[in-house]
Structures are given as C-alpha cells and as structure tokens.
Amino acid sequence: MPLSKKLRDELQSFKPWLSDAQNRLQAIQPDSCDRGVILKQLKALKGLRDDVDSHKPEHETLKEDATSLIDSCQSDKYVADGEVKDASKSYNGLVDNISSLEKQLLNTAEAAEQFEESLQPVDDLYNKVEKLLASQEPIGIDKTKGKDAIADIEKFLLALKDNEPKLDEAKEAGQNLLSQLDDKSPDHARVKQELLAVDQKNKNLVDELVKRKAKLEKDLEQADKFHDALQALEDWIPSAQEQVAAQEPVSSDPETVKNQLQQAEVKRLHNILNFLKRSSS
C-alpha cells in the first residue's frame, strides 16, 4: 500500500476519534463543588484518559508515517505538515488538558472540603446564640434571673468576638473555593451568597445580643427599684402592725374613724406585701 494512502487511512480513523474525545472533555465542566458530582467527573475523566492512552500507539504511528512520507515523497508533504501536525498538536493538547482539568477538579474538591470544615464551628456558635435568644423569657422582678440572662449574653458576645479569626478563615476558604469555580456556574453564585450570609449573620447576632442586653439592664433597673420600694414597705409594716393591734372598736368620732381606716389600710398593704414576696420567690 502506498505510504500516502496508508497515512490518509490512519488520519481518517484517528481524526473522528480525536474530535469525539475533545467533545467528551468539554462536557466535563468544573462548575460544581459537590463532592459526589466531582467524583463522577473524575471517574469520567479517568475513562477518557485511559481511552487517550490506548490511542497513543496510533498517534506515534501517525507521526512516524508522516516523517517517512516527507522523506520519500515531497508531493504529499502538505498532508504530513498540515493534517498530521494539526492532529498531533490536538492530541498532545488533549493530554495536557486532561491533566489540567484533573488537577482543577481535585483542587475544587479540596477547597470545598476546607470551606465546609471552616464553616462548621462558625455555624455551631451561631446556632447556640440563636438558641439562647429564643429561650430567654422576660425576667419580671426576678433580679437573679435578670443577672444570669445578662451574663449569658455577655458570654456569647465575647464568644462571637473570639470567633472572628475563624470567621475570617471561613471567608478566606470560601474565596479560594470561588476561584476554582466558573463565574457563571450555579455553585459559584451559591457559595458567594453563602459567604455574604455568614458575614451578615454574625453582625445581626451581635446587634441582637446588644439590644437584648440593653433591655435586660433596663428591666433589671426597674426590678431594683421595685425591690427597694418593697423593702421600704416591709421595714415599715412592723410598726404599723402594732398600731393595728392596738386598734379600738369603731368609734363615732370622725378623727378616730379616720385613724382606724388607716390602720385597716396598713393591714391590707401587709397582705399585698406577702403576696408580692411569694410571687417574686
């Protein structure tokens, strides 16, 4: 068989396969940070690499025949210099692109894992703060309850402050992950939104804790005033009770009746005091 015909037959077989392999590579887009998706892409890429490797002997034969044709028949030189060189260049480019894409997918998988791990302690703290805010109840006149509630808030405000380096690590890991993804991919938009949300949530929780602390401090101040008034009333009751005990029968004298009514009011206040003490305990 003339060498030129053999070379054309080899090209006729090799070029369609090469075109199909290039299309298979283009179908594997590094646009997801989902571990399951990446594993499937790596599996498909491995299958493509194995197929490319299996065509390596054909590629080598093609180059050798082209070199022989150039040396033996100058009239067919355009075939060797043109189509064969283009096919060889595409083949080598395919090999390089497969390696590059494999590296990118592995980097994306690693970046996604780092982002997820860095977010975990941040999310855990956020959940604890939200649980605290949801569980706190009005303190009423219970000073101890109010002081404990304020102490809890101060503890989490400090925890959020101490957590800022971890938040920065999570944002840095997120930016690294974004750099691995196609700007137009859904996962790129999702991760970007997640980064904005985690940063905003930190600010919102700090603001909510500060507002809650201010309200509790105001409620505690009112509770202090109530207990001060209650103590004053409690201190006054014993002397008033003595007057009640010495109370005489109802008199027809207006002034005496007035005093007796005041003494009755003292007794009523004493009952109210006992009720309030029981309610606040």
Cα gap 202→209, rounded to integer Å = 11
pLDDT, position 139: 79
Q: How confident is the model at residue 141 (pLDDT cuts 50, 70, 90)?
A: confident
Q: What is the mean pLDDT of the chain?
A: 84
pLDDT tens-place string over residues 223-275: 777 777 666 666 666 665 565 555 555 545 566 655 655 666 666 666 655 65
Please state the rounded mean pLDDT for residues 57-69. Answer: 87
Q: How confident is the model at residue 68 (pLDDT cuts 50, 70, 90)?
A: confident
Q: Terminus-to-terminus CA distance in the chain, angstroms?
A: 108
Distances in Å between the Cα of 222 and the Cα atoms of 10, 211, 252, 270 are 94, 17, 44, 22
Name which of 121, 119, 123 is nearest 111 in CA terms. 119
Give the angle 194-198-203 at the CA atoms, nearest 5°.
Answer: 145
pLDDT tens-place string over residues 90-118: 999 999 999 999 999 999 999 999 999 99
Of the chain, the percentage scoring pLDDT greater than 70 comes to 77
Q: How confident is the model at residue 77 (pLDDT cuts 50, 70, 90)?
A: low
In terms of residues, how long is the chain?
281
Would you give the distance in Å from CA 205 to the centre of its chain? Answer: 14
